[in-house]
């Protein structure tokens, strides 16, 4: 093995000759700050509550943080007026206190250094770390242009850093939330209805009569208001239809569970369309009034009978017909849910198109119990100079995927690998709030790219695996310790939510807005950060919106009346969809003109070879990706993932529940750690299943280190969606190994 310059450093190796230069935390809040007043009030009261919105996942539920007399956070409770949580947080939100308390948090800035030929990190002061970043960025900007400095981000810190990047002239920005998650459905739905699904999804679940989940496992993904509304729908007697090779929690709540053969969903949907059209039970009036391309669709699906689909999907023809009729009976109060993590097989935009077309046939878009018309309120932009115009950015990098609507992380990282035909050389990367070694597949490519970089910065609250590849690590404080952007929610009614620090930042951690401003000032773009405290920005914005910081501190969430009209289509009026034609596009001329199938087709995908099982992965309700694995409260609920194995497979291989096994994928990649078998009837015999986000390699994560398997390291076969660049990850196959393959090998 050759020695890599960017050798993965375990942060636990810290201090080997390192120079501790840390000074005490700077009081960035100033003397007569809000925080100081809080602390005084705390003496008088048992609990003090401050508003926030949760950052443990992306749902951003508004909540109240309760702190005791000593200023320690006791509990976090949902805000009753918030349409993301209706006063009830999920386990991760309730357990958010563990994110603050975690003693393994990053505590000071760290700088990569070499001591006696060994790479390690040393502690550094903020000044030193920020000076180094600014000077490296400046050098790269002079030599290659600001565009060569890329940002990979997620969540609230990403917003502040995006502002910094745009200020110094880089639009080379991407996030795994797009090409590794929901990108294909946004493309599929905007091609059909003219608008993104967006977050939260505008699914009118509480009033639906029929909810159809295709591989979406609401209840295991705790997308809070969706889970709550699904529960309301159960109370209201709604029918749930779940299509999933695994007997998910949602499947157990369903009247119909269709245990589909993996990778055949489009075939099932084509057959559903066939039944709806053949039996003339689709919403004829709706289609006639709002849609275009029906004849082409009818001709296209005429051959896709339930009998044909049975051979492909394993779902019996009568079940396909019965479920199609159930949907039609509920129409238009029916939802074919667009799902969220939808990068599966590389034809994912087309699968999303099939879902959108089904929704159109059932007349559910813009109808009560289907999809409502969402609305949000614009938060006024704080005065700032106009951004410069970069010569290239995420758009140019992703240009070979014509309908990519956001940056593609994998394409941005490929640009870091030198080659003669690379027109967009990326030289530095900042990673903020996303553990890319677990969120982006194809580790080999990622490591090659990171190794080729001149400079890499990671901003995080925890020593996630990705910090080991950085030149500089910056410790961000948690959401409970900082101001952040006002949350403007897209929902039935527009609303805003406030995030205020409940306690001052622990250790020597800092908020991302401060990090962005400090780097900006050092890079000569201080004019874009015309404030000393982000609180000033919020105060200015709230005033403009007709409220104030004082009011928002008391209420946390403010709901505004709708201005865009009714939640649903006006049945007597006319409506123009924001598509090219103004109609719902069942047949897509846009796809046709780009050389893609204008109507979705079923494509056969690779199947597991003899002795291999398809690797499926998903979510557990108490964890968010890999970021919560070390959270003391949430780790207490689930410490590691397990490998779901069908009893037939267990019998053949002689596996028992609780037994440790290792996995080897089709490219001979062996899992770093072992995983415990869970023999269960809830999974098909041709696949295995695990919860994503475990198998951490960073020893400093004292609770999460070495627990379970990281599914992402086994995802080396990636099927790229040619339409928008999504990275299909469900085409990986694994062998189950019962003897430790790492014996005598140091991990």
Partner 1 sequence: MVIDTLKCVGCSDCVVACQTENDVPIGYCRDWITETVNGAYPSIELELKSERCNHCENAPCVRCCPTGASHQLDNGIVLVTGDECIGCGACIESCPYDARYQHPDGYVDKCTFCHHRLEKGQLPACVSVCPTKCMYFGDLDNPNSEVSQLLKNRKYKTLAPEAGTKPKVYYLI
Q: From CA 29, how far away is CA 721, in angstroms rounded?
A: 47
Residue 42 or 190: the one with the smaller Cβ distance to partner 1 is 42
**3 state DSSP class of 79:** coil
Residue pair 272/258 in contact (Cβ under 8 Å)? The answer is: no
Nearest by Cα to 514 from 534, 528, 485: 534
Nearest to 631 by CA among 76, 3, 20: 76
CB of 522 or CB of 614, closer to partner 1: 614
In order, the DSSP letters of 253-303 are T-SEEE-PPTT-HHHHHHHHHHHHHHTT-S-HHHHHHHEE-HHHHHHHHTT
User: Quick one: 110 or 683, whose CB is closer to partner 1?
Assistant: 683
Instruction: Report d(CA 42, CA 50) in Å as an integer.
Output: 11
507: exposed, middle or buried (Cβ count in 10 Å: 0-12, 13-18, 19+)? middle
Q: Which of 494/621 has CB closer to partner 1?
A: 621
Smallest distance, Å, CB 156 to partner 1?
22
Q: How far is the CB of 433 from partner 1 (least distance, A)?
A: 23
Contact indicator for 270, 303 with CB cutoff of 8 Å = no
Q: How far apart are CA 69 and CA 496, in angstroms?
A: 29
Least Å from the CB of residue 154 to partner 1: 22
User: In the numeric block, which tokens belong to residue 153?
Assistant: 């981000």
Give the largest Cα separation in the chain, rounded: 79
Query: From the CB of 269, what's the least distance to partner 1, in Å?
Result: 20
| Six token digits for residue 679 | 């023999």
All residues at 6 or more sequence positions from 572 whose CB lies less than 8 Å from its CB, including other chains: none
Residue 647 contacts residue 679 (beta carbons within 8 Å): yes
How, if at all, do strands 487-489 and 495-497 pair? antiparallel
Nearer to partner 1 (CB atom), residue 209 or residue 253: 253
Tokens matching residue 346: 């590389």
Smallest distance, partner 1 to C-beta of residue 225, A? 9
Q: How far is the CB of 464 from partner 1 (least distance, A)?
A: 21
Tell me the C-alpha distance between 6 and 25, whole Å. 30
Cβ proximity to partner 1: between 230 and 653 the closer is 230
Residue closer to partner 1 by CB (options 68, 451) is 68
**Distance in Å, CB of 650 to partner 1, minimum:** 12
Q: What's the min distance (Å) between Cβ of 462 and partner 1?
A: 17
Rounded CA gap, 370 and 19, in Å?
A: 60
Considering the complex, state which of residue 576 and residue 681 has its C-beta at the smaller distance from partner 1: 681
Shortest Å, Cβ 257 to partner 1? 7
Q: What is the rounded distance in angstroms from the CA atom of residue 421 to the CA atom of residue 370?
A: 48
- Please tell me the distance from the alpha carbon of residue 404 to that of residue 346, in angstroms, as a whole number: 14
CB of 75 to partner 1, least distance (A): 4
Return the number of the residue (25 or 637) whose C-beta is nearest partner 1.
637
Q: What is the smallest separation between the CB atom of 306 and partner 1, expressed in angstroms?
A: 18
Q: Which is nearer to partner 1, 243 or 354 (CB)?
A: 243
Task: Work out how close the CB of 637 gets to partner 1 at its nearest, in angstroms, rounded to a whole number.
Answer: 5
Residue 461, CA distances (Å) to 157, 458, 467, 483 in order? 10, 10, 10, 15
Residues 325, 301: contact at Cβ < 8 Å? no
User: How far apart are CB 683 and partner 1 at their closest, in Å?
Assistant: 8
- Smallest distance from the beta carbon of 18 to partner 1, in angstroms? 31
Cα separation of 446 and 729, whole Å?
15
We find the least distance from the C-beta atom of residue 684 to partner 1, in angstroms, to be 7
Question: Among candidates 70, 136, 61, 134, which has minimal Cα distance to 94?
Answer: 61
My answer on whether omega of the bond before 200 falls inside 30° of 0, hence cis, is yes
* Residue 634 DSSP SS3: helix
β-pair partners for 690: 617
For partner 1, the closer CB: 571 or 681: 681
Handedness of CA 503, 504, 505, 506 (dihedral sign): negative
Shortest Å distance, C-beta 243 to partner 1: 12
Helix (H) or strand (E) holding 118: strand 118-123
Smallest CA-to-CA distance from 524 within 167, 95, 81 is with 167
Judged by CB, which is closer to partner 1: 268, or 622?
622
- Between residues 72 and 530, which has the closer beta carbon with respect to partner 1? 72
Query: 251 or 472, CB closer to partner 1?
Result: 251
**Are 485 and 497 in contact, with CB atoms under 8 Å apart?**
no
Cis peptide before 332 (omega within 30 of 0): yes
Closest CB 62 distance from partner 1, rounded Å:
14
Question: Between 588 and 631, whose beta carbon lies closer to partner 1?
Answer: 631
Non-local (6+) Cβ contacts of 44 within 8 A are none
> Residue 637 or 670: which CB sits closer to partner 1?
637
What residues line the site for partner 1 (CB under 8 A)? Answer: 74-78, 85, 88-91, 94-95, 97, 219-220, 222, 224, 227-228, 230-232, 234-235, 247, 249, 251-253, 257, 259, 621-622, 632-634, 636-638, 646-647, 680-685
- 68 class by beta-carbon count within 10 Å (0-12 exposed, 13-18 middle, 19+ buried): middle
In the complex with partner 1, the residue whose CB is nearer, 177 or 222, is 222
């Amino acid at each position: 093995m050759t020695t890599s310059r960017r050798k993965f450093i375990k942060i636990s190796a810290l201090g080997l000759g390192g120079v501790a230069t840390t000074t005490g935390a700077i009081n960035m809040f100033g003397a007569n700050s809000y925080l100081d007043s809080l602390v005084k009030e705390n003496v008088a009261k048992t609990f003090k509550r401050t508003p926030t919105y949760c950052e443990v996942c992306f749902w951003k539920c508004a909540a109240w943080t309760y702190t005791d007399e000593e200023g320690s956070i006791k509990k976090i409770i949902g805000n009753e007026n918030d349409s993301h949580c209706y006063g009830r947080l999920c386990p991760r939100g309730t357990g958010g206190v563990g994110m603050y308390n975690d003693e393994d948090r990053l505590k000071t800035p760290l700088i990569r250094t070499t001591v006696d030929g060994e790479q390690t990190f040393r502690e550094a002061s903020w000044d030193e770390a920020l000076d180094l970043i600014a000077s490296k960025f400046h050098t790269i900007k002079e030599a290659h242009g600001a565009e060569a400095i890329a940002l990979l981000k997620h969540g609230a810190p990403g917003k502040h850093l995006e502002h910094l990047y745009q200020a110094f002239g880089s639009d080379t920005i991407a996030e795994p939330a797009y090409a590794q998650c929901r990108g294909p459905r946004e493309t599929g739905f905007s091609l059909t209805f003219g608008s993104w699904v967006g977050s939260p999804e505008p699914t009118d679940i509480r009033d639906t009569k029929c909810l159809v989940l295709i591989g979406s496992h609401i209840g295991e993904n705790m997308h809070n208001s969706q889970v709550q509304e699904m529960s309301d729908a159960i109370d209201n007697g709604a029918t749930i239809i779940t299509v999933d090779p695994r007997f998910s929690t949602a499947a157990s709540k369903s009247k119909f569970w269709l245990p589909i053969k993996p990778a055949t969903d489009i075939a099932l949907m084509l057959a559903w369309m066939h039944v709806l059209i053949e039996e003339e039970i689709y919403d004829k009036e709706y289609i006639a009034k709002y849609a275009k391309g029906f004849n082409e669709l009818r001709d296209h699906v005429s051959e896709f009978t339930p009998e044909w689909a049975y051979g492909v999907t394993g779902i019996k023809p009568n079940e396909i017909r019965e479920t199609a009729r159930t949907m039609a009976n509920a129409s238009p109060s029916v939802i074919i849910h667009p799902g969220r993590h939808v990068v599966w097989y590389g034809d994912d935009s087309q699968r999303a198109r099939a879902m959108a077309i089904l929704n159109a046939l059932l007349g559910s878009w813009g109808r009560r119990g289907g999809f409502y018309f969402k609305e949000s309120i614009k938060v006024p932009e704080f005065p700032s100079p106009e951004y410069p115009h970069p010569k290239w950015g995420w758009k140019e990098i992703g240009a070979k995927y014509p309908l990519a609507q956001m940056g593609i992380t994998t394409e941005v990282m490929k640009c870091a690998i030198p080659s003669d035909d690379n027109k967009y050389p990326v030289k530095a990367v900042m990673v903020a709030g996303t553990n890319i070694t677990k969120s982006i597949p194809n580790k080999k490519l990622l490591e090659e790219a990171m190794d080729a970089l001149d400079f890499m910065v990671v901003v995080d609250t925890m020593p996630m695996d990705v910090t080991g590849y950085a030149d500089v690590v910056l410790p961000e404080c948690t959401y409970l310790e900082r101001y952040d952007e006002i949350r403007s929610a897209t929902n039935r009614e527009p609303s805003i939510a406030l995030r205020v620090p409940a306690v001052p930042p622990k250790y020597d951690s800092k908020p991302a807005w401060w990090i962005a401003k400090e780097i900006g000032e050092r890079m000569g773009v201080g004019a874009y950060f015309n404030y000393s405290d982000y609180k000033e920005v919020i105060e200015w914005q709230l005033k403009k919106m007709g409220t104030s910081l004082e009011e928002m501190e008391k209420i946390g969430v403010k709901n505004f009346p709708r201005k865009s009209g009714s939640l649903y289509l006006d049945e007597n009026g006319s409506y123009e969809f924001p598509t090219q034609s103004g109609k719902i596009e069942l047949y897509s001329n846009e796809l046709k003109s780009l050389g893609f199938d204008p109507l979705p087709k079923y494509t056969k995908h690779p199947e597991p070879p003899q002795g291999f099982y398809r690797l499926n992965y998903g979510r557990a309700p108490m964890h968010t990706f890999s970021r919560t694995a070390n959270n003391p409260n949430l780790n207490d609920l689930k410490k590691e993932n397990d490998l779901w194995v069908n009893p037939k497979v267990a019998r053949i291989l002689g596996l028992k529940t609780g037994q440790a096994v290792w996995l080897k994928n089709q490219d001979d990649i062996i899992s770093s750690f072992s995983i415990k078998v869970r023999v269960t009837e809830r999974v098909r015999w041709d696949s295995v299943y695990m919860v994503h986000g475990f198998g951490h390699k960073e020893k400093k994560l004292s609770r999460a280190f070495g627990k379970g398997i990281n599914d992402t390291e086994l995802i080396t076969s990636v099927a790229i969606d040619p339409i928008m660049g999504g990275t299909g990850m469900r085409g990986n196959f694994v062998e189950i190994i019962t003897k430790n393959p790492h014996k005598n090998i140091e991990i």
